[in-house]
Chains A and B, each alone.
Chain A
Amino acid sequence: DAKTTQPNSMESNEEEPVHLPCNHSTISGTDYIHWYRQLPSQGPEYVIHGLTSNVNNRMASLAIAEDRKSSTLILHRATLRDAAVYYCILRYSGANSKLTFGKGITLSVRP
């Protein structure tokens, strides 16, 4: 499985944008980039995913580098509820696909 590299932790201020980076230099052409987050005492929650183009949804934006070797999850206005562990995951789009989680990045949000 292709691997991702994320910083261990990041701090942000409430109501400010947050940019969470992810490196995936060994990504293959059939790998989608997925982001999930896990709030304390809850199961992971889907955030967003993409293949080549930047993606937006109600939760976040995903910016994907042109060579696809890195990506950035953007939370446009952080809230206290966004404090969580964020996982950047490469998911193979073929048979027996699964999510391979790393340790993720722990986001803290200051009031």
Chain B
Amino acid sequence: ETGVTQSPTHLIKTRGQQVTLRCSSQSGHNTVSWYQQALGQGPQFIFQYYREEENGRGNFPPRFSGLQFPNYSSELNVNALELDDSALYLCASSLRLNTGELFFGEGSRLTVL
């Protein structure tokens, strides 16, 4: 077990709604990143946070936003949900920025109807 926990594990939303996904990083890890994994595809980088500041962003629109808290836990918020947002959302934490291994949680499965 990696120590990275995500909630909720599964959720269903309708188009246009908003969703918040949560991640608790492994103890001592100050860097968290979020990935989206569509069915049958590899994970795609959304963004990364280091010490509460966004530090790198992938090719995702602004309706994907995030937060990192002083205890290094994190949230991913998605506004105006679209059908294509249906995916597994993965959180990963690491001990250091830009180096070392990432520890992934088991993900939050979002279905948008």
Contacts and interface: CB of A to CB of B under 8 A. Distances in A.
Interface stretch (A60-68, A76-84, A101-109): A101-109
A95 B48 CA distance: 11
A101 B42 CA distance: 5
Chain B interface, DSSP helix/strand/loop, else mixed: loop
Interface residues of B, number: 26
Interface in B39-79: 40-45, 48, 55-56, 58
A45 B43 CA distance: 12
Nearest to B91: A43
A103 B44 CA distance: 11
Contacts of A34: 101
Contact of B101 (A46, A85, A94, A98): A46
A-B interface, 4 closest residue pairs, ranked by CB to CB distance from nearest: A101-B42, A43-B104, A96-B56, A97-B98
Interface of A: 34, 36, 41-46, 49, 85, 87, 93-104
Interface of B: 2, 4, 33, 35, 40-45, 48, 55-56, 58, 90, 92, 97-99, 101-107
14 contacts: A43-B2, A44-B43, A45-B2, A49-B101, A95-B98, A96-B98, A97-B99, A98-B56, A99-B43, A99-B102, A100-B45, A101-B35, A101-B44, A103-B41
